[in-house]
């Protein structure tokens, strides 16, 4: 078990690009309730099964297990499109912290979100210039919610797209 304490931010502009090679992600949700999810994920050529249980404002208990690639693909293929997220993930270090930038595809195209994992909810860190508005406590930015309610369908999607893409 691992406690995941994660803060999320919208990304402004392209100042983060070129710092890492993209890894394709495809993930879906086998089960979800208001405080927990069961996710299957393919990251590059590796499969994972993850259980997340909410334990704080931005904290979750996380149980993640490798699964055979073909099993992960079969589980994803059995899901409906509304349960699947596709994105590229870029992982790199900047200003003493490891950042993960997710560039979403498909129905969430245009959304770019940066995440930082912390040791505590109050931990300080230096923010890169390309970091935009914090969205850690906005549930619609959770991947599980983006699968159900994609970015392209948000009423404010066009305004957010302009903000996220730098103008």
Cβ 152 vs Cβ 109: under 8 Å: yes
Beta strand extents in 21-157 (DSSP E only):
23-32, 36-43, 46-54, 59-67, 84-94, 97-104, 112-118, 131-134
Q: Is 141 a catalytic residue?
A: no
Please give the span between the terminal C-alpha atoms of the chain, in angstroms, as a whole number. Answer: 41
Which position among 25, 29, 90, 141 bears the catalytic label? Answer: 29
User: What letter does residue 126 receive in the DSSP assignment?
Assistant: P
Catalytic residues, which ones?
A: 29
């Amino acid at each position: 078990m691992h406690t995941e304490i994660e803060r999320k931010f919208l990304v402004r502009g392209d100042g983060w690009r070129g710092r890492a090679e993209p890894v394709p992600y495809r993930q879906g949700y086998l089960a979800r309730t208001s405080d927990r999810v069961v996710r299957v994920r393919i990251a590059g050529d590796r499969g994972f099964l993850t259980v997340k249980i909410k334990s704080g404002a931005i904290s979750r208990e996380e149980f993640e297990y490798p699964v055979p690639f073909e099993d992960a693909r079969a589980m994803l293929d059995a899901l409906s499109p509304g349960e699947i997220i596709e994105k590229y993930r870029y992982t790199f270090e900047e200003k003493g912290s490891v950042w993960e930038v997710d560039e979403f595809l498909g129905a969430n195209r245009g959304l770019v979100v940066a995440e930082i994992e912390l040791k505590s909810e109050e931990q300080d860190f230096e923010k890169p210039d390309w970091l935009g508005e914090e969205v850690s406590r906005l549930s619609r930015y959770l991947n599980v919610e983006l699968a159900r309610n994609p970015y392209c369908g948000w009423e404010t999607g066009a305004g957010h797209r302009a903000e996220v893409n730098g103008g």
